[in-house]
Amino acid sequence: MTKHRHNDDEEHHHELAAAGTGAGDYVPGYFEMLEMTIGELLVEKGLIAAGEIRRQIEVLDSRTPALGAKVVARAWTDPAFKARLLVDGRAACEELGISFYDDTALIVLENTDTVHNLIVCTLCSCYPRPVLGLPPDWYKLKPYRARAVYEPRTVLAEFGTIIPDDVEVRVSDSTAQVRFLVLPKRPKGSENFNEEELAAVVTRDAMIGVVPVEIR
Ligand code: FE
């Protein structure tokens, strides 16, 4: 770790760019350099321990929609758990061993015969990462972020989801502190499924609210 690493890298980057680098030459991008620099400064100033960023990345990488699916399947099979989940999503997830590594609250929104929930972050890409992992690219793009709010039924139709007129569509806008997870309707034909089989049919997109859970 050198003191002037940022400047050195930047010069290096410009040289390579000017020379028209061929395939195989690795040139860190602007944000990667920014990230390395800030990381080094945080360690240098004693604000975090070396390795802390890597450990946090490992925690993030360990999160996948399989965790959310486990929560949904439990809610479908255990009414008492479902009741607790709807009151305090975070505490109920923690019961299943899903830790929250940040200070976000989790509100679980139940889809019913009369209400269909859709989640969005109009500002950026806030997402229930502890239970779903990283958001899909379309979730972070402006068309979804804007249109989910002013024409949710059209957006849903583009995902192949037609919501009947007598079903209310509710759009919930995530924030840095409050994240949402959709509890989809249990699909017809799953009456004899056990919890594990149920979890296997729950998809990420169903927990965002853009599609129902279906048995294929
Ligand atoms: Fe956001």
Structural domains of the chain sorted by starting position, each given as residue range(s) with its CATH number in brackets: 15-62 (no CATH), 65-208 (3.90.330.10)
Query: Measured in angstroms, how far is the CA atom of residue 178 from the centroid of ligand 1?
Result: 10
Determine the pLDDT at residue 101.
86
Annotated active-site residue in 121, 172, 174, 190: 121
pLDDT digits (tens, 9 = 90+) for 193-215: 999 999 999 999 999 999 999 99
Q: Are 139 and 190 in contact (CB under 8 A)?
A: no
Name the H helices within the chain: 5-19, 30-44, 52-61, 65-77, 79-87, 89-95, 129-132, 137-140, 142-150, 152-158, 195-201, 204-208
Q: List, in sequence order, every residue forming a beta bridge with 173; answer none if it has no partner.
A: 120
| Known active-site residue 125 | yes
Nearest to 52 by CA among 66, 62, 42: 42
The model carries a pTM of: 0.81
Annotated active-site residue in 93, 126, 172, 174: 126
Determine the pLDDT at residue 23.
57
Query: Measured in angstroms, how far is the CA atom of residue 124 from the centroid of ligand 1?
Result: 4
* Degrees to nearest 5, angle at CA 49 with 32 and 6: 30
pLDDT digits (tens, 9 = 90+) for 129-144: 999 999 999 999 999 9
| Known active-site residue 124 | yes
| Known active-site residue 121 | yes
Query: Measured in angstroms, how far is the CA atom of residue 119 from the centroid of ligand 1?
Result: 11
C-alpha 207/C-alpha 202 separation (Å) is: 8
Tally the residues of the chain.
216
Determine the pLDDT at residue 38.
92
Distance spanning both ends of the chain, measured CA to CA: 54
Mean pLDDT of the chain: 90
Query: Measured in angstroms, how far is the CA atom of residue 127 from the centroid of ligand 1?
Result: 7
pLDDT by residue for the chain (216 residues), tens only, comes to: 333 344 444 444 444 444 444 557 888 899 999 998 999 999 999 998 888 888 888 888 889 999 999 999 999 999 999 999 999 999 999 999 999 988 899 999 999 999 999 999 999 999 999 999 999 999 999 999 999 999 999 999 999 999 999 999 999 999 999 999 999 999 999 999 999 999 999 999 999 999 999 998
Determine the pLDDT at residue 176.
92
Give the side-chain half-sphere CA count within 13 A for 90: 14
User: Measured between alpha carbons, how far is residue 200 from residues 67, 91, 127, 168 in Å?
Assistant: 11, 23, 21, 28
Determine the pLDDT at residue 54.
87
Query: Measured in angstroms, how far is the CA atom of residue 24 from the centroid of ligand 1?
Result: 35
Q: Are 102 and 127 in contact (CB under 8 A)?
A: no
Q: Are 213 and 102 in contact (CB under 8 A)?
A: no
